[in-house]
Structure 1
Amino acid sequence: MTPDPIPRRKLADAVFDRLEQMITSGEMRPGDEMPSERVLMERFGVGRPAIREAMQALAGKGLVAISHGERARVLQVTAQSIFRQVDLTAKIMLSQSDDGLENLKSARIFFERGMAREAAAKTTAQDLDDLAAIIAHQRAMIGRPEDFIAADMAFHARIARISGNPIFSAVSEAMLAWLRAYHMHLLIWAGNESVTLDEHEGILACLAARDADRAEAAMRDHLERARALYSKEKS
């Protein structure tokens, strides 16, 4: 039989598991300082390099924050922080494949149609006022491409927040951030600003009427038109 040895684990990996367990078990809570390197070295019987490598791995996963000259501090894990961990990977994937960008646009349309339905059922007067204010701000940003795009994305992110579900909000913000990696030349130069604003007004009207079917249809039509405005040329 051909030998199939089990590789020995790096000390840093074992230390990582112990530190992760301290956090997931509640021994260390969000906002707590992690024990000093010396305390951890004595507790686990390992050297400083293993502690530092494990701590850097925790930081890379968004579990702790490391500041020079201070102890690492446990972070509150949120839906937003989870998606930030894959932000770079997602942008690389999109830059390497036309299919990846098209799939993201399709996923966004599917997702935001659902968000429009959810918002139509749950929207409040404050939500409607906030969305109207975003549209007014976006209108004032005509001629300022980056600010106009930022307001456009703020409108869609605000609709997702109406759900009250932080995971929905995080998904919306992540997809919008990934799409923003691609400059939307045609949105400005083809004179489509007024069309975008009119469509936003139409979506808002459907939400105000609490008409889920019309809100979904308005969002679908808006995004189907807009999907062609995302160019693969980087800004």
Structure 2
Amino acid sequence: MATATDTIIRRKLSHEVFDRLRTMITGGELKPGDAMPSERDLMERFGVGRPAIREAMQALANMGLIAITHGERARVQQLTARSIFQQMDLTANILLSASPDSLEHLKEARRFFELGMVRAAAERATAEEVARLRATLDAQALAIENADAFISADMRFHAQIAAISGNPIFEAVSEAMLGWLRQYHTEMLSWTGRQNVTLTEHDEILGHIAGHEPELAEQAMIRHLDRSRALYIHGE
């Protein structure tokens, strides 16, 4: 008598096509920047119809393995830490919108992450990296009357702190978390004078990074994050 583990499950043709195309990419037959074979060529090669090819190609695009552009051949993408996390954006946003608890969990995770990043930055930042942070802070100060530009500079400042680690995964994690939080940033920031508080806090953090003072940089980041976390509010 057959058991559940003995049963052969018929897979969709598109799943088989997906596996073969993925192997062509991961095995090096197709490299980043290469154009994917045409739909007709793939139909002939695998002996399947157009719907199976298109469904498999879309699945590859959803994973970030290929880029599909209307009117052009799909091309193999160069996977990076940033592109991998970008594939999580939709799922993360759905999770956050469905649960106020998830937003609190994300803010807690960001706090834990940022404290480690600012300590690392204070320990190893070069003069060039400090100058880059200063330029971002100067740009944020110039954008004090433009909420979108101000918040974008704010996100860039924190992502640049993570980038000082030299680990692209850390930088990608920072950008992802800040991007997911951005939609919950309320207008409490604007027109209340809190922009100046943010600038002062950033300047203090930068000063401790430049002075290679990890303990003081961490304490300044704690004060900044604990004060600013109230700006991120779930709509429900």
Q: Which amino acid aligns with 2:54?
A: R
Corresponding residue for residue 185 of structure 1: 187
Could you say which residue in structure 2 is the equivalent of 1:232?
234
Partner of 2:138: 136
Give the counterpart letter for 2:19 in structure 1.
Answer: D
Q: CA deviation at 1:3?
A: 6.9
The equivalent residue for 1:22 is: 24
Instruction: Give the superposition deviation at 1:190.
Output: 3.4
Does structure 2 retain, via aligned residues, the 8 Å contact 1:185–1:231?
no
1:67 deviates by 2.0
Tell me the number of residue pairs that the alignment of Structure 1 and Structure 2 aligns: 234
Listed one character per residue, the Cα deviations across residues 92-119 of structure 1 (whole Å, up to 9, x for unaligned) are 1111111100000000010010110111
5 Å matches for 1:161-176? 161-176=163-178
Q: Deviations over 1:43-70 (max 9, x none)?
A: 2222222112111111111111122332
Q: How does 1:50-129 map to 2 (within 5 A)?
A: 50-129=52-131
One-letter amino acid of the counterpart of residue 57, structure 2: M
State the shift of 1:2 in Å: 8.3
- Which residue of the partner structure matches residue 208 of structure 1? 210
* Alpha carbons of structure 1 residues 148 and 69: separation in structure 2 relative to 1, 3 Å: closer
- Name the residue aligned to 1:145: 147
Tell me the TM-score normalized by structure 2. 0.93
CA shift digits 1:164-223 (9 cap, x unpaired) = 111111000000100101132222243212211111111011101111111112112210
| Contact 1:183–1:233 (CA under 8 A) maintained in structure 2 | no
Q: Aligned-residue CA RMSD in angstroms?
A: 1.7
Q: For the residues of structure 2 that align with 1:88 and 1:169, how far apart are their CA atoms?
A: 19
* AA aligned opposite 1:114: G
Distance 1:150 1:68, change over 3 A: closer
Which amino acid is the alignment partner of residue 167 of structure 1?
I
Give the Å deviation of 1:11. 0.5
- Identity across the alignment (%): 61
* Other structure's SS at 1:68 match: coil
Amino acid at match of 1:156: H
Contact 1:141 1:147 (C-alpha < 8 Å) held by counterparts: yes
Partner of 2:40: 38
8 Å Cα contact 1:83-1:174 kept in structure 2: yes
What is the alpha-carbon distance in structure 2 between the residues aligned to residue 90 and residue 109 of structure 1? 18
- Partners of 2:14 and 2:20 in 1: CA distance: 10
Q: Give the distance between the partners of 1:36 and 1:233, measured in 2 at CA.
A: 46
The structural deviation recorded for 1:134 is 1.5
Deviation larger for 61-70 or 101-110: 61-70
Structure 1 pair 18/199, CA: closer, same or farther in 2 (3 Å)? Answer: same
In the TM superposition, structure 1's runs of 4+ consecutive aligned residues that sit over 4 Å from their partners are: 1-5
Structure-2 residue corresponding to 1:159: 161
Asked if 2 retains the 8 angstrom alpha-carbon contact of 1:12 and 1:54, the reply is yes
TM-score of the two chains, using structure 1 as the length reference: 0.94
- Counterpart residue number, 1:197: 199
